[in-house]
Structure 1
């Protein structure tokens, strides 16, 4: 089973920069970077109508999670940069990804930095990253947190590399899966009574 380094942060937080650094410094085995923007870029360039946005994007996101799982299953190590801004995204991940093989890292940065970078990117509406912040980090449970406001992407990548062999258990994904499954069972039992 391959390792999965899962970077979660808002648009413009530095996830992709950290992922690139990880590809440079992790030298043991084949490593893939599955970027949120790269996966979306494979979709047709046609404008999506607002009323079809969720029904179109959710299957794409679920397919992405299953692609990550498939690569890990054959032994590839993967660095994922993701934005867990939709309520279904985080619950889906630990059901398809092996929770014990995922290092879940939160990528935080100065709140004003992503907003400052938005005009230069040209592919995000103003305020997009600020809107995502509370949604992305609402769960508050990571194996490791990085702050791109106080550390460079290279320093964050080195901390992740150093942390990998010493991860305590259970992992954040394992804890989340247990909570999610327990809540689901409690809900079903309550519905029966």
Structure 2
């Protein structure tokens, strides 16, 4: 576990969990405009984009999976380290593998994590994937079954049924709620 520097109150993490193309990055940008204090946006795609691709492209499947595992584990620790240094973070992620949530529960001990379920209809996900052109069409649908399987959130929003402004307002209301009742604490108790 990462320790906070002396006399520093850890920042808050608003963790947006949703499948690819569900609107997490757009929502994070909206939150940065709407929140009443400075937050950093750190997304899993941002961390992945820092990795050198030519070398990754040459890896066999097992080595590639290990590289991706290390990248995601490092992402969790980078967010935790920033928060423990007193920074507030909007984190966007995809809990499509159970270990990702379990690892975050461990490394984010002592941090106020607001867990937000970001949902989107299957039809809208498909439309967004086709429109973006930078994703394999069908990735989001393949992630739907596993990403929200843990089932406990502080709040849930639907980017296909609500505006980004309304989603942001709901998340901000939720983030002001009591820390003791957060989903992360309940999930830690279950796991």
TM-score, scaled to structure 1: 0.87
Query: Which position in structure 2 is the counterpart of 1:3?
Result: 12
Would you say 1:170 and 2:170 are equivalent positions?
A: no
> Secondary structure in 2 aligned to 1:169?
helix
1:129, 1:7 → 2: CA distance? 15
Q: Which residue of 119, 127, 131 maps to 2:138?
A: 127
Over the residues paired in the alignment, what is the CA RMSD in angstroms? 1.4
1:166, 1:148 → 2: CA distance? 22
Deviation string, structure 1 residues 96-145 (Cα, Å, up to 9, x no partner): 01365000000001112111222232232221100001110111111110
Query: Which position in structure 2 is the counterpart of 1:44?
Result: 52
1:119, 1:44 → 2: CA distance? 26
Deviation string, structure 1 residues 134-189 (Cα, Å, up to 9, x no partner): 11011111111011121111211111112222246331111111111xxxxxxxxx
Query: Which position in structure 1 is the counterpart of 2:70?
Result: 59
Query: Which position in structure 1 is the counterpart of 2:40?
Result: 32
Query: Which position in structure 2 is the counterpart of 1:104?
Result: 115
1:172, 1:142 → 2: CA distance? 5
2:143, 2:110 → 1: CA distance? 24
Aligned residues: 179
Structure 2 vs 1, CA of residues 111 and 93 (structure 1 numbering), >3 Å: closer, same or farther? Answer: same
Which residues in structure 2 correspond to 1:133-152 (within 5 Å)? 133-152=144-163
> Secondary structure in 2 aligned to 1:166?
coil
* Matched-pair contact (CA < 8 Å) for 1:109–1:149: yes
Segments of structure 2 that go 5 or more residues without pairing to the other structure are: 1-9
Would you say 1:23 and 2:28 are equivalent positions?
A: no
Q: Which residue of 74, 81, 86 maps to 2:97?
A: 86
Could you list the runs of 4 or more consecutive aligned residues of structure 1 that deviate by over 3 angstroms after TM superposition? Answer: none
Structure 2 vs 1, CA of residues 40 and 77 (structure 1 numbering), >3 Å: closer, same or farther? Answer: same
Segments of structure 1 that go 5 or more residues without pairing to the other structure are: 181-193
1:169, 1:15 → 2: CA distance? 25
TM-score, scaled to structure 2: 0.88
